[in-house]
Structure 1
Amino acid sequence: MKFKQSDAQNQRIERMTTSHLVVGIDMAKETHVAQATNFQGIVVSNRHLSFSNSIEGFEKLNRWMTELQQKHRIKKLIIGMEPTGHYWFNLANWLADKELHVVMVNPATTKRNKENRDNSPSKNDPKDALVIADSVSLGFYYEYTRQSVVFQRLRTIMSDREFWVSNSVRLQNRIIRWLDIRFPEYPSVFKDWTCKRLLATLKTFPCPQDLETYAIPDVISAWRTHMQRAGGSTGMKKAAQLIAHAKRSVGDRTAVEESKADLIRLIEEYERVTTMLEQIEKDIESLLSEIPMAQQLRILRTYPGDHFIREHVTYCRRCIRKGYHSILHQFTLIHQCPFHPKSKLYDYCPKCLKLIPYRLSDDCTGFQCKCGNRLYDELLSFKRWREHKPKISSPLVNRWIQLDENERAELKSFIFIRELDLDKVPNLMEYLISSLENNTPLVNVKRHIIKTHSNLYKQK
């Protein structure tokens, strides 16, 4: 019996045969629990297996599954587990290295189906393992595929960056809280508390009473120990405003020494985390150079916050049918499939007509809509997916990829305004390439004239 691509669950159920052994594993930090059933959900093991999160435990699980296969003359094996925290990584990778079929079951599915066996809401590890096996038999799972090494490295460093960004935000909130209590007039002098002049002020005389006896030259002289361009008309003006506000400040003046010590620790930690984040950004830049097409997609400059990658999944129906999707499909300057130039790119779910976010993480399944529809046929074998290596047929995209260093440097000088939706500008890639080749610009490209302002060239 054949099903449409959208009926993924029916395809998974049809995939189960009499020669399948289904193993469900309940993951934990130290000890995992496994249960085994046949394709009908009948338990085939005398009792559950408990094994440790170590190589000895993994080998014990492998021997147990092999013995069950030999005992019941079952050739095929499918292993299901919950992606619980980070406990499942090592076992899933070890099993995948053994070329065993590993799938993932959503923890919400296990929670909602735990009463099916005994009509009881009770919860224990053997029962959870059995429920996971039942869910796999009913097709409630998704495939586990390992990313390439470079993307695993990128994923690790981005997770690290997210952690330190959160710490940086917490530190900034603490420093702002300190300013609101001790010197609430600071924002009227410095709009951005992270500027060098304000940080120099906080390090030298953070409290209002520290400034009351200072003159303008003294403040500027103190700033010079922490920054180079401390004086000038701006420095004189800021110093005068700071002293005037300090004399009228309503900030709290109790426990001054303790509060200063607290601020020193906060600023030192904030600067340390900032330096660490700058190094992480450099590591990310270096890592992106190892990812194919990354440099070609990042050679254009825009205002901060804009990018050239679409936020929602954009796909070619002919490519996705074979389980293939390229980062080129997400590039806002491309509106036709680079591998099938006559095929249009789509950005909505064919079942519910809604947009699908372009993201991959542990808590969501890639290329799957909220309605449950998947864009690709997950029953495609991994071997067939690896063998599918399409070639770029679009001359325009090939020309873009083959831009030399001088042409890339010239493109970096192009600035696109924030309000311009590049996805809706027709033939923009062709226009940019024609500009590089000194050809006559296309007449059907709309020109947007803007006035230069002070922030135009303040680009990172």
Structure 2
Amino acid sequence: MERYDDSRLSEFRQLRQGIRQSKEHMVVGIDIAKDRHRAFFGTPTGRTLLRKVVFENTKEGFEKLLFHTDILMRQHALRKVVFGMEPTADYHKPLGEYLTGMDHMVVLVAGGAVRRNRELIDGRWDKNDTKDAANIADLVCQGKCLFYDHPSPEIRELRMLLSLKRRLKKEEHSLTVRIRNHLIAQYFPELDPYYTCGEGPAVVRWCIDPKEVSTLSLQEFSRMVSSRNGGEKQGRRLREIHAVAASSIGCRVTPSVSYEAGLLVDAVRKTKEMVRQTDARIASVCSSFPGYPCLMSIPGFGPDISAKVLGALGDPRRFDNHRQVLKLAGLDLSGDSVTPHTILSNTPSFFSRSLV
């Protein structure tokens, strides 16, 4: 693993403390979009240097931004520059990585702060405000900005895999809900209590029509939906499903229903396989972190929770004390004196829910 470079973090902390009185900084507020970004150039003292520069989300566009930055710094005898951005999906990441790769200071401003500051400036609340770049620069000048964390490649890979797993699990849940709330509830309601059992998806895949189940013998039905001998418990479940099929209240099943059932069950199976492969990849990446065995030794911390904690913390050397970790987790540090029962902040992160 790469060693953590804390020089950017130290520079950011100094920036927040002294940006308001600085006469050597130029602040560039950037309104991020998908194709074209807008930049505002000003100083912490409130002076406007250039109201708007529109540049493409390409390398040529990034070079255009730096060209204007260099020209203005020379014209106004400014020695330092800080770029502020509001995180917008993933559109800001190429620009952020480009600027940090050029050793420029990059900070983020929270979307909620941008919205509230816009109302304080001129009473506007339109999300598509063309003055957002100036609004972002104003927040940076006030020191109301966040550190742009650019972790090591291992941390970024782990976070990407964790994000992929969350999307896959969400897709799996969405497919399962559609099977139970759309297909089973409409065509075979009596099957729902058995769906979570091993043979439940197979019944949906091959025998979503209860009338078809009732025409089969128990032995034929069992061979169709089960490829292994699950013992007495499985046999009892199959007998119960076969028995209730004859008196099912489900709607009439058409060929398109059977087609959809097959597609959805196959999609769930493929998604689960992708989740298993992603888990194996996550475990392989986590094995390179020296702190991973320590996390695994904590009672209640398995591979999943340990990987999420590693992804959320990144390099622990960027924290000065344990209170910063608690704040990252979403714990309300000031709630003990006022609301002693408050544990989490209003917007707890997934990391905080995992820890608590």
Return the TM-score normalized by structure 1.
0.62
Q: Does 1:57 align with 2:61?
A: yes
| CA offsets 1:293-318 (integer angstroms, 9 cap, x no match) | 1123214665989978999xxxxxxx
Aligned to 1:183: 188
Aligned to 1:250: 249
Q: Does 1:44 align with 2:49?
A: yes
Separation in 2, partners of 1:128, 1:267: 46
Aligned to 2:39: 34
CA RMSD of aligned residues (A): 3.8
Do the aligned residues in 2 keep the contact of 1:29 with 1:87 (CA within 8 Å)?
yes
Separation in 1, partners of 2:115, 2:199: 55
Separation in 2, partners of 1:54, 1:308: 37
Distance 1:265 1:15, change over 3 A: same
Aligned to 2:285: 287
Separation in 2, partners of 1:218, 1:123: 61
Aligned to 2:3: none
Separation in 1, partners of 2:299, 2:336: 35
Which has a greater percent of helix?
2
Distance 1:167 1:360, change over 3 A: same
| CA offsets 1:15-52 (integer angstroms, 9 cap, x no match) | 6411111111111111111111122111123x421111
Aligned to 2:295: 297
Q: Does 1:82 align with 2:93?
A: no
Deviation at 1:130, TM superposition (A): 1.4
SS at match of 2:118: coil
Deviation at 1:159, TM superposition (A): 0.9
Aligned to 2:155: 151
Deviation at 1:269, TM superposition (A): 0.8
SS at match of 2:48: coil
Do the aligned residues in 2 keep the contact of 1:208 with 1:246 (CA within 8 Å)?
yes
Separation in 1, partners of 2:251, 2:119: 59
Separation in 1, partners of 2:254, 2:240: 22
| CA offsets 1:85-122 (integer angstroms, 9 cap, x no match) | 21111111111111111111122222223356666667
- What number of residue pairs does the alignment pair up? 325
Q: Alignment partner for residue 17 of structure 2, among 12, 20, 23? A: 12
Separation in 1, partners of 2:289, 2:17: 33
The runs of 5 or more residues in structure 1 that have no matched partner are 1-7, 312-318, 331-346, 368-422, 424-460
Matches within 5 A, 1:139-288: 139-177=143-181, 178-187=183-192, 190=194, 193-223=195-225, 226-229=226-229, 232-253=231-252, 255-288=253-286
Aligned to 1:342: none
Deviation at 1:237, TM superposition (A): 2.7
Identity %: 26
Separation in 1, partners of 2:319, 2:257: 59
Separation in 2, partners of 1:31, 1:167: 31
Q: Does 1:138 align with 2:138?
A: no
SS at match of 2:55: strand
Q: Alignment partner for residue 97 of structure 2, among 90, 93, 99? A: 93
Max radius of gyration: which structure?
1
Deviation at 1:247, TM superposition (A): 1.3
Letter in 1 for 2:281: D
Matches within 5 A, 1:356-435: none
Deviation at 1:218, TM superposition (A): 2.3
Deviation at 1:213, TM superposition (A): 2.3
SS at match of 1:32: strand
Letter in 1 for 2:255: E
Distance 1:19 1:99, change over 3 A: same
| CA offsets 1:231-265 (integer angstroms, 9 cap, x no match) | x4334433332222111111112x43221111111
Distance 1:209 1:98, change over 3 A: same
Distance 1:325 1:309, change over 3 A: farther
Matches within 5 A, 1:343-358: 349=333, 355=343
Separation in 1, partners of 2:178, 2:85: 41
| CA offsets 1:153-191 (integer angstroms, 9 cap, x no match) | 111111111111111111101111211211111245x2x
SS at match of 1:48: strand
Do the aligned residues in 2 keep the contact of 1:48 with 1:126 (CA within 8 Å)?
no
Aligned to 1:68: 72
Deviation at 1:198, TM superposition (A): 2.3
SS at match of 1:44: strand
Separation in 2, partners of 1:238, 1:108: 52
Distance 1:168 1:44, change over 3 A: same
Letter in 2 for 1:284: I
1 or 2 for the larger relative contact order (CA 8 Å, sep ≥6)? 2
Distance 1:14 1:214, change over 3 A: closer
SS at match of 1:228: coil
Separation in 1, partners of 2:220, 2:62: 69
Separation in 2, partners of 1:118, 1:202: 58
